[in-house]
Structure 1
Amino acid sequence: MKLTTALAAAALLLPLTSPAAGKGASKPPVTEKKEVVDTYHGTEVKDAYQWLEATDDAKVKQWNDAQNAHTRAILDRLPGREGIRQRVAELLSWKSPGYAGLTEANGTLIGVKYQPPRQQPYVVVIGSADDTSKERSLLDPMVIDPSGHTTIDFIEPTLDGKKLAVSLSKNGTESGDVSVYDVATGKPLPNEVVPRVNGGTAGGGLAWNADGTGYFYTRYPRGEERPAEDRDFFQQVYFHKLGTPTEKDTYALGKDFPRIAMTELETSPDGKFITAMVANGDGGEFMLYLHGPDGKWAQVTKFADKVIRARFGHDGAIYLLSRQDAPRGKVLRLALATPTLDKATVLLPEGEASVQGFFPTKSRLYVSEQLGGPSQLRMVDLKGKDLGLVPTPPVSSVGGLVSAGGEDIYFSNSSFVQPQAWYRFTPADGKVTKTALAKTSPMDVSDVEVVRTEATSKDGTKVPLTILKKKGTKLNGTNPTLLTGYGGFNISISPGFSPLAGLWLEQGGVYAIANLRGGSEFGEKWHAEGSLTKKQNVFDDFYACAKLLVDQKYTQPKKLAIQGGSNGGLLMGAVVTQHPEAYGAVVARVGLYDMLRSERTSNGQFNVTEYGTVKDPEQFKALLAYSPVHNVKDGTKYPPVLFTSGANDPRVDPFHSRKMVARMQTATAAKSPILLRADAETGHGSGTPLNARIEEEVDAYSFIFSQLGVKYLPPAKKVAAPKPQ
C-alpha cells in the first residue's frame, strides 16, 4: 500500500462514511446479480457479476467500501492481532539494511539500499563493499516525496559512471519517468525528464551511448498518438540526447514489433554496440536486434530461434542463451564482426541443470544454473572448458552478478535460513569472501531444518517441495502448516530468507514451498507443461504437494493454510475451487480469477502468450475448465479466504478479486468468511511503503492464525549469559 503510517493504513480500509461500517458490518453485503451471457465458440457462459468490472462506477465503489468495512469488522477483532502486529513490525522493520540492483561502472559501485524504518529504498554510491561507512546517498525518493508514494523502478549508469538515469513511479502504478543525476553531486540535470519509459505492462529500460551524451529508451505512446486503449502497448525504442527536449527524441526501432512487445536494452562494454531483446508478451518468445557502429539496427534472431538471453562479452563477441533443441539451455558465442545466428558456435552445451543467465569477464563466463529451485554458479573459459563451481551453500540462490574489478565478481546469495548477502569471488585463489553488504537475521533460526522432497503429481511428474520446520517437530498430523507456490511465466521459486516464514516457524508451524510446473526450475519443457492448455498441471502439482504434507503427517487439511500472489493468486483460486476440502485457510493476493475476460485488460493481453486466449477454441476450453470464478459451485463448503487487491495495479485488474469474492460469498454453504481487502492506494506490490506492507501482513497472518486455531504467543526473550567475574 502507498501509505506513510500504520494508522493511515487502517483508516483507509475502513471508510468512516460507509453505511456498512456500523452494526451490520459483520455480515457481507448482499451483491446484486445482473446476469449477462457471453458466447464463445457456441458455448454460452453466464456472468452475474460483470457489472463489478466497472471500477469507476459509483455502485461498484459503494460495494467495494461495504466489502472493506465488512473485512475490517472481522480482521480488527481477531485474537492475538496486536501481538502479531508488534512481531511483524519488529521483523519487517529490522534495521539491518539490504542491497539490490548493484551495478558497476568504471570502478564506481552503485546500488539500491533498503534501510528500515525508511518507507522506500534509495540509491547509494557504495565506496567499498567491505566498508559501508564510505557509502553516500545519491537519490532518496523520500526527499522527493515525503509521503512515501514514490519509488524507484530501475537505475542505469553511464559507462564512465559519472551520470545515473533513474526511473521513478508513484502509487504502485509502475509508470516511471526517467531523470538523470550527476553521480558526484547527487543533483539532477536540469530539464532532463523523459516520461513513461517504464510501465506495468511492458516494463521498460534504457541503454546509454558510449560517451554518456544520450540513451536509447523504451517509449510508450504519448498524448494522442494512439487511442486511450492502446497507450499501454506498442512500446518502441527511441533515442534521447541530453540537453534537448524529449519532444525532439528520435525513433530508433519497433514500428513492426508486436502490439505486446517488451524490450530490454544493453550497451556493450566499449559502448559501440547496443542490443534490444524483444519479448512477445509474457510467454517466453524473444527476438534480438543489434545496433552497431554504422548506426543501423539489424535483426539477429527471430522468435522461432528460441534465443532468450543475450550478454556482451569483453572479447568482441555476444553470448546467447538458446533453447533451440535444448530445453534446459545452451550458451552460444557470436562474434560481433559477423552477427548472424548461423555464425554462432556452441560454447556450453545443454547439461543436466537449467541455464538461467550468465556474466562474462575478460577470461571466463560465469553461468547461473538451477535444478529444481536452488541455483549454483558454474565457470567456463571462453573456449567452453569447465572451470568448476563457485563455492556456495547448498539449497541456496545465486544472482546479481557484477564486476568487482579485474576477474573478481560480486554475487548475491541467500537461503531459507540465511539472509541475503553479497560475496566477492576471487578466481585467482578460488576464495569466496562475505562483504559488508549483508543482512543479519532478526531472529534465531539455528533450530530450523530444511527438508527437500518430492510430491508425485496426477500424471506421475515429480514435483520438488521444500519443507521448513523446527528440529524435533513431531509428524503427528497436527502441525499448523503454510504452503505457497507460483508456477508460471518461466519464473522459478528459489531459496530465500523470509522473516515472515520465521514468524510462522517460531509459533511451531511448518512452512512449505512448492516448485511447480510453469516455472523455469527444469528449463523450457517444465515451463511449457504448465502454460497454455497445460495449465491444469500446475494446480495438480500444488494439490499433490498439499496431499504429501497430509499423508506424511506434517499436518491435516483443517490445519493447512495456503497463500500466493499474482499468478500465485490464480493458483489459490483454482485449487480452492477444485479441492475446497483440502485447505483450512487461503490468502489470495492480487490474483486473476476470471480467465475468460482477463485478456480484455491491458496486461491481460500480454498474458495471452502464457495463458492462452478465448479466441482459440482449445485454449478457451482449457481456460473455462479452470477459471476460478467459473468453477465456484453453489452449496459448496469453502474454507475461509482472504482476497487482496490494489486499485492502482497495472498487472492484474482488481475486478478479478471483486468478482471472485461476490461469487464465493453467494455460493458457499460454510460459515467461514470470504473477505476482500481492497486497497485504494496500492498497485501490484512494487513500491509499497514499509508501513503499508506491515499492515497487509498483519491482516494476512492474523487471518491465518485465527482460521487455523493457532494462538499467537510472543517469542521468549533470550537471556544473556552472565559475564564471568
Structure 2
Amino acid sequence: MSVVDTLHGRPVADPYRWLEDPDSPATRGWLADRSREFARATATWPMRDRLARQIRRLVATELWSPPVHRGGLAFTTRRDADADHPRLVTIRDGRERVVFDPAVHDPSGRTTLDAWEPSPDGRLVAVQTSTGGTERGALRVLSADSGLPVEEPIRGVRYSQVAWLPAPHHAAFYYVRRDSRGGRPGVWLHRVLAVPRVPDILVHSTAGPCAVPGVRLVRGRWLLLTENHGTGHRTDLWIADLSGGRARAPRLRPVHVGEDIDSEADVGPDGRLYLRTTLQAPRRRICAADPRDPAPERWREIVPEDPGATLDAFTVTGTPDALELLVTRNLLGISELTAHDAHDGRRLRRVELPGEGMVTRLEADAAPDTAYFCYADVATQQKVLVLDHGARRPRPWTVPAPDDTAQRPASTTRSGPSPRTPVPIGRSRGSRPRRRTIRCRSADGTSVPVTLFSARPFDEPGPTILHAYGGFGRARRFGFSATVLSWLLAGGRYAVAHVRGGGDAGQDWHMRGARRNKIRSVQDLVAAADTLVDCGYCSRGQLCLSGGSAGGLLVLAAATMRPDLCAAVIASAPLADMARFEQLGLGRLWTREFGTTADPVDFAALMSYSPYHRALRSHGCRYPAVLLTGFHGDTRTDAAHPRKMCAALSAATSPDRPVLLRYERDVGHGPRAVTSAIELAADAHAFAAARTGLSPRIRSV
C-alpha cells in the first residue's frame, strides 16, 4: 500500500516505503529477484573478467602505512600483495611481529581494522575493529608483545580517536563515543586494568546529537577537544593543560566555541599553539597563539591564505631554534608540499614530489628532524616517504628486512614486491595517463573546472566516465585507483567535475553548493557533461556518470533532470529519497549540508532535485541505463535509498533501459576486503564499458 505524507501542506507519495525494512519477507523476495536480474546482466558484459584481472594485477603490491615510533618499536600496518586486509605489526631491530591480523581474528573476512593507537611506552596498543560493514565496533587494548587482549573490549564506538596519557599516569586513555550505544556521546577517560575496576569517566559531553567529538593529546601535555557540527565549517575547539595532573577533570579552555570557524590545532616544540583555520580565510591559513590565552583575537598569522589553492594539512618539525612548518596545499586534486619558517612564515623551499599526485598522512615523527607522508598518483601505487629536516627531496621509507622469518607465523611471510621496488605502472610514454583541465559554464554562469585523464590522445572521442562528489566540502584528490587506471589502460577516458558543494576551491565553493544551493551542484555536473560532448571528448552514447554516496545523489539527480544527458549512470550507495534522508542512516547529522524537511524553504529545495521523487513523477521516460549498488550493513546512507530508487526507476523508465541493483550483505559504506572491492569495481566498470561501447582491448602494464 502506498504511503502519502503531508509536508508543509504538500502531499508526498512514497509507494516503496515498505522497502525500508531490509529483512521483511517482501523485501527479501524483491532483493532475490534483483540479484537474479543482475546475474543475468553481468553474463552479457564482455569486459568484466578482463577488468577484474587487470585490477587484481594493479593492486597486487605490498602496502605499508607510515610508522609510528613508541618505546623503541615502529608500529605500522602492512598488506601483502595477496592479502585482503592490512595487519598491524611492530618492527624492532629488523624483526617484525604481528600484533593484530583481521584475517586471523575473523577468517570470514568480514572484520576490518578501522584504527589503532599505541601507548607512549609502546607496551600496549588500542585497536579498533568493526564487522559486517556497520562501522560500529569495538575498541580492544592489546599487548604489543603478544597481541593478546589485556581486558574486555569497549563496545559501541565508531572511528573513535584515542589519546593515551603519558607517564606517570596509570595506563589510561581518552576515547570518543559517537552514538549512545554503551554510553553517552562525548569524550571519555578509560583506565586500563584498573584495580579495582573503575567505570569510565565522561570528561566532555557533546552539545547535541549532531555534534561529532574528537580528542588528541599533544606533547604529552596538551589535551585538544573538538566538536564538529555538521558540515557547515564549524568546529568548536578547547585546550587543556594536563601538566597539573587533572586528567579526570581537565580544565578546558575554549579556543573558539559557537562560531563558524573550522580549525585543526597542534602544539609545537616551542610551546605555541598552531592552527590551520578558516577564520578570515576560506581556503585556510595557519596562525599561532599562546595555548594559555588562545582567543582568536590574539592569534598571529604565520602562513597566509593562498587564493589559488586550499591548505590541506600541516605539521611542525625541528627544534625550537630551527622550527619549520610543513604545509600541503591542494590545487584541483594535485598536492604541493612546502616548508616554512615557523616564526615568520617565510617560505623556505618547495619539496620535490615524485610527480603530480596526492600527499596524505603528513605527520612529524617522534624524532624532531623527521616527517613521514604518503604519496600516490594516478599511475603510482601509494608509498611511504621520509622527509628529513631541511631536505628538498624526500626519500623512500625502507622497511627493515626481518632477520629471522622462522619466528613469524606463515601468514606474515613476505610476498609480492618489496617496498624498495614498487610495481612500475604505465611507465611507457604511450600508456601513462595524461592530465588536462578544461572549464565549463554552469547554468548561473559560474566557471566550473573539469579534470580529464586519458591514456589515448585527447582529440580522439571515446567512452568516458564522468565522476563527481560535490558534498561536505571535500576536495577531490588524485591518488592511485586501480579501478580508474584499468579503465584508462583499456582505452577509456576518466573525467572529474569539481562541482560546487565540494571543497576544491575552499569554504565558499562548498557553501555555494550546500543546503538550499545544492541544485547548483547538479547544474554544474550537467554543464560538465554537456561540455565533454560539445568539445568532442565523447558522444552522449559514450558517456557514463559515476558517483558514490553524496556523489550518487548528484548523478541520479542529473540523470532524472536530463534523461538525454548520457548513456549510463553508476550510483554507489547513494542518497536518493531526500524527503526521508533524515530518518535513514546518519542523515540526521547532515542537515547543515542538505537542509531539513522541517523547514519549508529547505523542503522545497530538497524536493526540487530529489531523484526518488522525480522518478516517481515520470512514466515511460527513456532514462539512461542505471547501476545502483547497495550494502546491507551501510549505517551511513542506508541501503534503503538504492532499494527504493531501483524500484521507482524500474517503474518509470522504458523497458529497453535496464535498471540494475547490485546488493551485498556483510559489507557497508566504508572499508572492505580487497577481493570484495575488486569484484565491485570490475562489475561497475564492466557495466560502464558495455553501455558506452568500450572495446575489450586492455593494454598490459
- Displacement after TM superposition at 1:154 (Å): 0.6
- Displacement after TM superposition at 1:107 (Å): 5.8
Query: 2:226 corresponds to which residue?
Result: 277
Query: 1:288 corresponds to which residue?
Result: 237
- Do 1:194 and 1:246's aligned partners in 2 also have CA atoms closer than 8 Å? no
- Displacement after TM superposition at 1:444 (Å): 4.7
- Do 2:134 and 2:668's aligned partners in 1 also have CA atoms closer than 8 Å? yes
Residue 644 in structure 1 maps to residue 629 in structure 2: yes
Which of 378, 399, 402 matches 2:338? 378
User: For 2:36, what is the secondary structure of its paired residue?
Assistant: helix
Q: Calculate the TM-score normalised by the size of structure 1.
A: 0.86
Query: 1:661 corresponds to which residue?
Result: 646
Task: Give the counterpart letter for 1:182 in structure 2.
Answer: S
Which of 121, 130, 139 matches 2:100? 139
Q: Partners in 1 of 2:584 and 2:227 — Cα distance?
A: 21
Query: 1:87 corresponds to which residue?
Result: 54
How far does the alpha carbon of each residue in 1:268-302 deviate from its partner, in whole angstroms, 9 at most, with x for none?
A: 11x12211111113433210122322422323211
- Do 1:638 and 1:670's aligned partners in 2 also have CA atoms closer than 8 Å? no
Task: Give the counterpart letter for 2:644 in structure 1.
Answer: K
Query: 1:231 corresponds to which residue?
Result: none
- Do 2:467 and 2:495's aligned partners in 1 also have CA atoms closer than 8 Å? yes
Residue 55 in structure 1 maps to residue 13 in structure 2: no
- Do 1:445 and 1:502's aligned partners in 2 also have CA atoms closer than 8 Å? no
Which of 235, 238, 251 matches 1:297? 251
- Do 2:378 and 2:485's aligned partners in 1 also have CA atoms closer than 8 Å? no
Which of 157, 180, 183 matches 1:197? 157
- Displacement after TM superposition at 1:79 (Å): 2.9
Which of 147, 161, 166 matches 2:127? 166
- Displacement after TM superposition at 1:317 (Å): 2.1
Change (3 A) 1:313 1:662: same
Q: Partners in 2 of 1:238 and 1:247 — Cα distance?
A: 15
Query: 2:186 corresponds to which residue?
Result: 236
How far does the alpha carbon of each residue in 1:174-204 deviate from its partner, in whole angstroms, 9 at most, with x for none?
A: 1121112233x14234224211222xxxx42
Residue 250 in structure 1 maps to residue 200 in structure 2: yes
Which of 106, 115, 137 matches 1:176? 137
Change (3 A) 1:100 1:529: farther
Residue 624 in structure 1 maps to residue 607 in structure 2: yes
Task: Give the counterpart letter for 2:358 in structure 1.
Answer: S
Query: 1:470 corresponds to which residue?
Result: 455
How far does the alpha carbon of each residue in 1:194-247 deviate from its partner, in whole angstroms, 9 at most, with x for none?
A: 11222xxxx42111111271001112566686xxxxxxxx52111100103998
Query: 1:590 corresponds to which residue?
Result: 573
Change (3 A) 1:319 1:305: farther
- Do 1:456 and 1:544's aligned partners in 2 also have CA atoms closer than 8 Å? yes
- Displacement after TM superposition at 1:675 (Å): 0.6
Query: 1:7 corresponds to which residue?
Result: none
- Displacement after TM superposition at 1:469 (Å): 1.4
Residue 325 in structure 1 maps to residue 285 in structure 2: no
Query: 1:408 corresponds to which residue?
Result: 370
- Do 2:556 and 2:571's aligned partners in 1 also have CA atoms closer than 8 Å? yes
Change (3 A) 1:107 1:371: farther
Residue 354 in structure 1 maps to residue 307 in structure 2: no
- Displacement after TM superposition at 1:650 (Å): 1.1
Task: Give the counterpart letter for 1:297 in structure 2.
Answer: R
- Displacement after TM superposition at 1:583 (Å): 0.9
Change (3 A) 1:56 1:342: same
Query: 1:206 corresponds to which residue?
Result: 162
Task: Give the counterpart letter for 2:160 in structure 1.
Answer: G
Query: 1:6 corresponds to which residue?
Result: none
- Do 2:627 and 2:661's aligned partners in 1 also have CA atoms closer than 8 Å? yes
Task: Give the counterpart letter for 2:579 in structure 1.
Answer: L
Task: Give the counterpart letter for 1:547 in structure 2.
Answer: D
Change (3 A) 1:618 1:100: farther
Q: Partners in 2 of 1:215 and 1:629 — Cα distance?
A: 45
Change (3 A) 1:238 1:642: same
Q: Partners in 2 of 1:493 and 1:657 — Cα distance?
A: 24
Task: Give the counterpart letter for 1:423 in structure 2.
Answer: L
Q: How does 1:487-502 map to 2 (within 5 A)?
A: 487-502=470-485
Cα-Cα RMSD: 2.3
Q: Partners in 1 of 2:643 and 2:195 — Cα distance?
A: 43
Deviates more, 1:50-59 or 1:393-402: 393-402
Structure 1 regions of 5+ residues with no counterpart? 1-33, 226-233, 719-725
- Do 2:225 and 2:239's aligned partners in 1 also have CA atoms closer than 8 Å? yes
User: For 2:151, what is the secondary structure of its paired residue?
Assistant: strand
Q: Partners in 2 of 1:453 and 1:414 — Cα distance?
A: 23
Query: 1:698 corresponds to which residue?
Result: 682
- Displacement after TM superposition at 1:491 (Å): 1.1
Task: Give the counterpart letter for 1:691 in structure 2.
Answer: T
Change (3 A) 1:285 1:101: farther
- Do 1:307 and 1:320's aligned partners in 2 also have CA atoms closer than 8 Å? no
User: For 2:394, what is the secondary structure of its paired residue?
Assistant: strand
Percentage of matched positions with identical amino acids: 29
- Displacement after TM superposition at 1:572 (Å): 1.6
Deviates more, 1:246-255 or 1:143-152: 246-255
Q: Partners in 2 of 1:319 and 1:481 — Cα distance?
A: 44
Which of 433, 441, 456 matches 2:395? 433
Question: Number of residue pairs matched?
Answer: 661
Query: 2:401 corresponds to which residue?
Result: none
Change (3 A) 1:562 1:256: closer
- Displacement after TM superposition at 1:442 (Å): 5.0
